[in-house]
Amino acid sequence: MATQDELKQAAARAAAHKVQSGMVVGLGTGSTAAFAVSALAERMQTEGLKLIGVPTSVRTAEQARSLGIPLATLEEQPHLDMAIDGADEIEIGSLNLIKGAGGALLREKLVEASAAELIIIADASKKVTQLGTRFALPVEVVRFGWKATFARVEALGCTPVLRLDEKGDPYLTDEQHYILDCQFGPMADPAKLADQLKGTVGVVEHGLFIGMAKEAIIALQDGIETLVPTP
Ligand SMILES: O=C(CO)[C@H](O)[C@H](O)COP(=O)(O)O
């Protein structure tokens, strides 16, 4: 029986094989995305694949650089051919996502909104029938007045928790913001909630990725399953 890491790696490899030479590729963040970065570097070495990566976090930039993947910023490469990333929850049918457990949701959304195609990679544990069933929704907020923002987000019907780092200090994103992990429970209308959060003063971004994923590559014990959004 394959381990969870082996499944993540299988999905990552399948996505990396979709990349063609000359592409500009958004490089996601997290343990599954890290396998995709490694698989791309391997293809560069073994097949001579050429690509430019646009990383979605400092962490991913460091990994890609250490593997010799040429990088560009989103300012330098504002139009990406593809982005490959993991997710915390993938809603079967819509392919709407919850992302951000790894803390990179803002840069991920910026990079992935600029990609012609967003490919999500995961093991089967990430599939849900309704978003909000397994993970709290990460909401990135500016530090200034964060308690007032906390109260506004709470009023939308959730229990927010300020994310802390391993030292017990507030977790800081790459853009130097805080994250509130918001337990909304199963979401009947995630698109409406996304709009409400976007309209909340102090909220910079949230981890709902609505209508963005073009494909999800899911690694199962007996092979790869490819999901596309149903109309
Ligand atoms: O959104 C993310 C980071 O902000 C990650 O893609 C998400 O948390 C999945 O991570 P992993 O592959 O480690 O389970």
CA atoms within 13 A on the CB side of 118: 24
Per-residue pLDDT tens digits of the chain, which is 231 residues long: 999 999 999 999 999 999 999 999 999 999 999 999 999 999 999 999 999 999 999 999 999 999 999 999 999 999 999 999 999 999 999 999 999 999 999 999 999 999 999 999 999 999 999 999 999 999 999 999 999 999 999 999 999 999 999 999 999 999 999 999 999 999 999 999 999 999 999 999 999 999 999 999 999 999 999 999 998
- Whether the CB-CB separation of 227 and 218 falls below 8 Å is answered with yes
CA of 30 to the centre of ligand 1 (A): 4
- Whether the CB-CB separation of 24 and 111 falls below 8 Å is answered with no
Whether ligand 1 lies within 6 angstroms of the CB of 32 is answered as: yes
Residue 108 appears among annotated catalytic residues:
yes
CA of 168 to the centre of ligand 1 (A): 21
> What is the reported pTM?
0.97
The DSSP code sequence of 119-168 is EEEEEGGGEESSTTSSSPEEEEE-STTHHHHHHHHHTTT-EEEE-B-TTS
Task: Tell me the sheet residues that pair with 23.
Answer: 51
Whether ligand 1 lies within 6 angstroms of the CB of 104 is answered as: yes
Whether ligand 1 lies within 6 angstroms of the CB of 136 is answered as: no
The domains found in the chain, sorted by start residue, are 4-125+210-221 (3.40.50.1360), 137-204 (3.30.70.260)
CA of 121 to the centre of ligand 1 (A): 10
Element (H, E) at 220: strand 215-220
**What is the predicted pLDDT for the residue at 167?**
98
ipTM: 0.98
Query: Encoding tokens for residue 75?
Result: 């300012």
- Whether the CB-CB separation of 137 and 97 falls below 8 Å is answered with no
Whether ligand 1 lies within 6 angstroms of the CB of 87 is answered as: yes
Q: Sign of the C-alpha dihedral, residues 126, 130, 136, 137? A: positive
What single DSSP character describes residue 169?
S
Residue with tokens 């990609």: 115
> Which residue from 3, 99, 118, 140 has its CB within 8 A of the most atoms of ligand 1, so it is best to mutate?
99
Cβ within 8 Å of residue 168, ≥6 positions away: none
